[in-house]
Amino acid sequence: MADLSFVRTDMLPDQPAPLGETGVLRWLRTNLFSSIPNTIITIAAIYAVYFTLSHFLPWAIQPSWTKTSMRDCFDSVEVTGACWGVVTERFNQLMFGFYPPDQQWRIMLTVVLMLAAIAPVLFDKIPRKALVFSAIYPFLAFWLIWGDSVWAPAMVMAGFVIAYYIIKFLNPVAGAIVGITTAVLVAVIWWLYAVVPVSIFINNIIPIELDIVKSREIGGFALSIIIGVSGIALSFPLGVILALGRQSDMFIVKVLCVGFIEFIRGVPLIALLFVASTLLSFFLPKGTSFDLLLRVVILVTLFAAAYLAEVIRGGLAALPTGQYEAADALGLDYWKSMQLIIMPQALKISIPGIVSNFIGLFKDTTLVSIIGLLDPVGLTLAIRGDVDWAGILWELYLFIALMFWIFTFSMSRYSMYLERKLKTSH
């Protein structure tokens, strides 16, 4: 039998790894040239990238940013490819549509304030008090964009404040049902009968007004952002409620939610947009003029909410029943257990789905060009119809694509950040 005993007397020193086992070389070898087929694919891919760029870059890099028409570009000796002048010359239009030029600061201010309002919602490091501004923002933005007296949106907001205080003081005394019902009733009465006279009255004493801008003057990316952001902000709570409703034990609630979701999902968005632009006015009482943009926002919201509800339902279904039982066993009522236990987890699971829905919604805003609203894609038709820019094609669409990509890519990055932040296991 061989001798099995062994004792080490001196320890071995560290040695450098063999060449090609570390750093860039190793990475190249394992990822790009690990086998013959991989090497072939790598070389083919490099060639494809080279081929694309060698055609695209000479076309795209052109001293044409100051040209004022297609003819200008054709006549110029240096310009042999893209005519970027269209982006420079029509930049304002692509951003604001036909918004009055001397008022465009209002849109820019709205966007800057929007970032301030969204920040505390997106990042929990920002003090929670900043959420007060987020709550005021929608009314402020409405006033900044459409103008007129500041008191109208302020009084609409006052309705919410009134309802809040009624609930706060009546609920402990008379119970939740009485409190909430009274609050809703008072708020609705306030909005229907008091907002207009009160805001006119206050405006006579302290007039704070901006020039009125009509909805049809709003266009370009301003329009996409208005529809996209309001759609996202409104469809999210609605989607959560629909998802909960679909799981409800209450038969009527469940049937209503399922019916709504299945109906909306079964209809193309374009059909709904046509309903918004034409049919809806048949159903509304004669004489009520209901802003087209508002109608579009409502239908886009409903559309997105139906899809969102299904995504969130997936998150709810993924939770083990033990979570519901543990919440119940601690004595939490339905709404508290949803708010504190179930929804935070279900929403976390559904983040990728929710965000891709939001991205889809944002890009779908380009469909409003079909009903005559002048979003960036709608504007390209107008711009290409102009004698100066007849025949322009790629430059405009590339620019619009790039702008949309910036928005949607930031959303996607944010969702990845959020997923990392909410990860609580190892």
Residues of this chain that bind other proteins (CB under 8 A) = 320, 322-323, 325-333, 336, 340-341, 344-345, 348, 422, 424-426
CB of 423 to other proteins, least distance (A): 9
Q: Which of 411, 423, 388 is nearest to 73 (CA)?
A: 388
Considering the complex, state which of residue 17 and residue 250 has its C-beta at the smaller distance from other proteins. 250
Helix count and strand count (H, E) for the chain: 20, 2
CB of 356 to other proteins, least distance (A): 22
**Cα angle 222, 113, 164; round to 5:** 110
**Cα angle 353, 357, 363; round to 5:** 145
Considering the complex, state which of residue 348 and residue 384 has its C-beta at the smaller distance from other proteins. 348
Considering the complex, state which of residue 41 and residue 326 has its C-beta at the smaller distance from other proteins. 326
Considering the complex, state which of residue 113 and residue 332 has its C-beta at the smaller distance from other proteins. 332
Considering the complex, state which of residue 76 and residue 345 has its C-beta at the smaller distance from other proteins. 345
Q: Quick check: 148 and 106 in contact, CB under 8 A?
A: no
Q: At what angle do helices 394-422 and 343-364 cross, to 10 degrees?
A: 180
Q: Which of 185, 135, 182, 180 is nearest to 157 (CA)?
A: 135
Considering the complex, state which of residue 175 and residue 372 has its C-beta at the smaller distance from other proteins. 175
CB of 322 to other proteins, least distance (A): 4
CB of 419 to other proteins, least distance (A): 13
Considering the complex, state which of residue 216 and residue 348 has its C-beta at the smaller distance from other proteins. 348
Tell me the two tokens of residue 304: 């997105």
Torsion of CA 401, 405, 406, 408, to 10 degrees: 140
CB of 328 to other proteins, least distance (A): 6
CB of 413 to other proteins, least distance (A): 22
CB of 129 to other proteins, least distance (A): 18
Whole-angstrom Cα distance, residue 411 to residue 356?
9
Write a three-state SS string for 354-393. HHHHHHHHHHHHHHHHHHCCCCHHHHHHHHHHCHHHCCCC
Whole-angstrom Cα distance, residue 343 to residue 3?
66
